Amino acid sequence: MSNTWNLSGVIVAALTPLDEDFALALDDLPPFLDFLALRGNHGALLFGTTGEGPSFAPAERLQLLKVALQVRQVHPDFKLLVGTGTPSLQETIDLTRAVFDLGCDGVVVLPPYYFRKASDEGLFAWFSQVLQRAVPTGGALLGYHIPSQTGVPLSLDLLARLKDAFPDRFAGLKDSSSDAEHARRLGTRFGKDLQVFSGNDALFSLALENSASGCITAMANLRSPDLRLVWDAHQAGKAHPQAHARLATARSLMDRYAPFPPLFKALLARLHPFPRWALRPPLMPLPEDVAEQALGEALAQVDGFAT
C-alpha cells in the first residue's frame, strides 16, 4: 500500500513554549520549529503528551497551530500534526474539524480516557463519529495508543476494523506502548497497510524492521540527528547501530527522569538558545539540582549529547 497521506519519518513530539504566567509563548514558536526542522525532523506533533496537550483548551490549540503554520514559509514540506483527543466526543469532533480547516496534515487522537472499561464496540462507535464528522476524505487520523497514560488500549482488532471502515481517513497509530512485542504484532498483522509511528526511541529500529512508517518521540526535541541517521539508513536498506545505541542509552536515561515535559524543557534551555519555558500545572519545573544531574549523566553516557 502506498503512503496515501505522505506522512513518514522523524516527527518530533514538540514541547509547548509557555511564558511564566502559563500563557502560550507564541513568539518563541516559529524559531523553535525552525530549529527542529533544521535538525532533521520531518514534522512536529503539537499538543501530544510531551506538549502537555490535555492541559490546553481547544481555542489555545488553534491559536498555536495558526502560528505554527508559518514554518511552511521556510520549510514547505514540514508536516504539522495536532493532538485533538479529549474525553468529550463533541469537543474532539469540533477541534479535529477546526485543525483540518486550518490546514494541518493530520491529527493524533487519544481515546476517551475517562471511561477506562469502554469496550472495543464503544471505542469503534466513538472513533467512527470523529472520523465521519470531522476528518475530510484524505485526512489522516492516527489513534494514540498510550495505555500507561490513558488506561484505554487500542486493540489490533479495533485498529483493523477502523482501517477497513475508513480506509481514506484512518491512517494508523502512534504506538507509545514501549512494548517490543506489540511493535512486532503490529508489523505482522498490518505490514504497510497501517501507518505506525513508534513512540519509543530505543524501539525505533525494531519498529522500522516491522514496517513502521516512522517515529513520533519526545527525544526528537534534542536527539533528532540520531533519529535521522537511523531513518536514513533504513531507507537505504541498512542499519545504523551506533546511532541506535546512543538513542537506546539516552532513552533509558531520560525515562528515569520522567515526566518528559519538565525534563526536556530544562535540557533544551541548557543546550540550545531557548528560554526555560514554564509548564502548566499540575506539572512542575524540574528542580535545578535534578536537571543538572540528568544533564551530567547524559553528557557522560551519550556521545554528542550536547550537539
The sign of the dihedral angle between the CA atoms of 172, 177, 182, 187 is positive
Please choose, from the candidates 60, 108, 57, the residue with its C-alpha nearest in 3D space to the C-alpha of residue 84: 108
Q: Which of 79, 163, 174, 265 is catalytic?
A: 174
Is-catalytic flag, 66?
no
Place of cell 532513552: 251
Is-catalytic flag, 114?
yes
Place of cell 533504513: 234
Phi-psi region of 195 (alpha: psi -120 to 50; beta: other; left: phi over 0): beta
Q: Which of 50, 84, 144, 217 is catalytic?
A: 144
Is-catalytic flag, 163?
no
Rounded Cα distance between 6 and 151, Å, is 30
Is-catalytic flag, 257?
no
Q: Which of 49, 50, 84, 150 is catalytic?
A: 49
159-177: b or e for each residue (b if 16 or more CB lie within 10 Å)? bebbbeebeebbbbbbbbb
Contact residues for 100 (Cβ-Cβ < 8 A; gap 6+): 107, 134, 135, 136, 139
Rounded Cα distance between 231 and 238, Å, is 9
Question: What type of residue is 212?
Answer: A
Q: Which of 4, 66, 114, 188 is catalytic?
A: 114
Task: Report phi then psi at 278, rounded to 5.
Answer: -75, 170
Contact residues for 213 (Cβ-Cβ < 8 A; gap 6+): 3, 7, 8, 9, 172, 195, 196, 197
Count CB neighbours of 128 within 10 A. 15
Q: Cell numbers of 50, please? A: 510531551
* Active site residues per annotation: 49, 114, 144, 174
